[in-house]
Each structure stands twice: as C-alpha cells, then as structure tokens.
Amino acid sequence: MDNILTYLLQLPSGYIWLIFLTENILITFGVLFIGSFFYKGRYSTKDWYLCAVTNVLNTVVTFAGYRLWEHQYIVIDTHFSWWMLPHFIILFLAMDLLMFVFHIIIHKTFLYKAVHMLHHEAVDPSPIDLFVLHPVEALGFGSLWLLLLLIYPFNIYGIIIYLVVNVIFGLIGHLGMEPLPSAMLQWPGIRYLGTSTFHHNHHQDIRYNFGFYTSIWDRIFRTYKQQPPSY
Ligand SMILES: [Zn+2]
Ligand SMILES: [Zn+2]
C-alpha cells in the first residue's frame, strides 16, 4: 500500500485526476452492471447527464482528499493491522449518523426544493439514482466524508472496506426491488440495516427513513417506517 501511495506522489496532477476519474467511472459502471440483474428498465438522458456530473464531483472530492493527505492535513495509517475492523465500524456508524443529520437538513429546510427534490423525482428508485444527485448534495456528502478523515488517522484497509460497503448499501437502496425474502428482513443482523425496502420506503414517503446504512437513528427519532413498498 505504501508503494502505491508513494507512486501516486510522483505523478503529475493531470494523471492523478485521470486515475481518480477512471476509478469513479468504474465504480459507477460496476453498480449499474450489478443493478442490471435486478432492474430491467431504461435510464433517461437526464439521468445519464446527472450521473456524469456526480462522477466528476466525486472525483473532485477524491482529489481534494488526496491533496489534504499530501499536505498531511489528512493522516492515514497504512499498516495492515487488526485496527482495520474497529476503524471500519467507527467510519460506518459515524458516517451513518452524519449523513442522517445532513439528510434531515436537506429535507426540512429550503434545501429540499432547491437541492434534494431532484433525487426524489424517482418515486420508484433504480440503480442509477444512486448518482442522480444535485451537485450541492454530491459535494455535501463528500465533504462529510473528508471531515471525518480530517479528525482521526484511520487505517487505510478500514477505509477501503468502508468505501466498498458504502457503494454496496447505495446500490441496495436503489435496486428497485427487494432481493431478500420478507422473513429474512426480520433477522436480528438485518433488522437494523438499511435494506432495499428501507430506502425504497423513503422514496415513496419522504417523511420517513432518513438513514442510509442503519435504521437506528430513524428508530430513535421516530421516523422509521418498514412496510412492503409498491414496486
Ligand atoms: Zn431524501
Ligand atoms: Zn435515494
């Protein structure tokens, strides 16, 4: 891992941009490819356009994170150690809380009409909706992520696990169907997680389910709703 990071430091900025943009595009096509096994509809030109803009903005966030790391404002522990697991869990829970608060703010203020309503044009979300975001929203989520990395020197492997899990949850929330049998949704390990049904319910009734990875905060603040959505 150290070798990869040292290699990046030697490259001109333009190359690093290109590497990060390629990485974001590959993630997007990975999501859309897996999503195509579950969602059979077609995407509109507007969806593709907004998806492309989000990819560029996610690259801006990745590049900003890289620059902050290069100038040592963000410090990353690059050792392969067991700390990766607690660090992953901390990142998972902290980002879940930060995004819950951010999500409530963009729903309950003028920001809903100005920013977040765009994502809610999809009452029945599909995989591309993970990237159908207003630019302010895409940068807002990215800033929360960088803020967390600025606070503490997290382990790089914990960060990588978190980033993979983040994409998986984003895809699950916008699958357009529930892949899990209804009985399984009640299993102790799954009950408190943000399932497809959980986020689909949010798209169908915007008063409920503001969480992303877990339903913990919605349960605490009494905004939790779990019922089979009308797909
Ligand atoms: Zn929302
Ligand atoms: Zn959504």
Distances (CA, A) of 42 to 10, 39, 175: 42, 9, 13
Q: Which of 146, 159, 144, 141 is nearest to 86 (CA)?
A: 159
pLDDT of residue 231: 62
Could you read off the pLDDT of 5-59 as tens digits, one per residue?
888 888 888 999 999 999 999 999 999 999 999 998 999 999 999 999 999 999 9
Task: Please list the helix, strand and coil fractions of the chain in percent, rounded to the nearest 5, in that order.
Answer: 65, 0, 30
Q: Ligand 2 centroid vs 155 CA: distance in angstroms?
A: 29
Is the pTM of the predicted complex or chain greater than 0.85?
yes
Domain spans of the chain, in order of start: 2-176
For the CA of 174, the nearest ligand: 2
Token pair listed for 61: 């966030």
- Enclosing H/E stretch for 10: helix 2-10
Q: Ligand 1 centroid vs 19 CA: distance in angstroms?
A: 31
168-173-175 Cα angle (round to 5): 90
Q: Provide the mean pLDDT of the chain.
A: 94
Q: Ligand 1 centroid vs 135 CA: distance in angstroms?
A: 15
Quickly state the pLDDT bin for 2 (edges 50, 70, 90).
Answer: confident
Distances (CA, A) of 89 to 105, 157, 160, 229: 24, 12, 12, 29
Residue 193, beta-bridge partner list? 214
Q: Ligand 1 centroid vs 105 CA: distance in angstroms?
A: 10
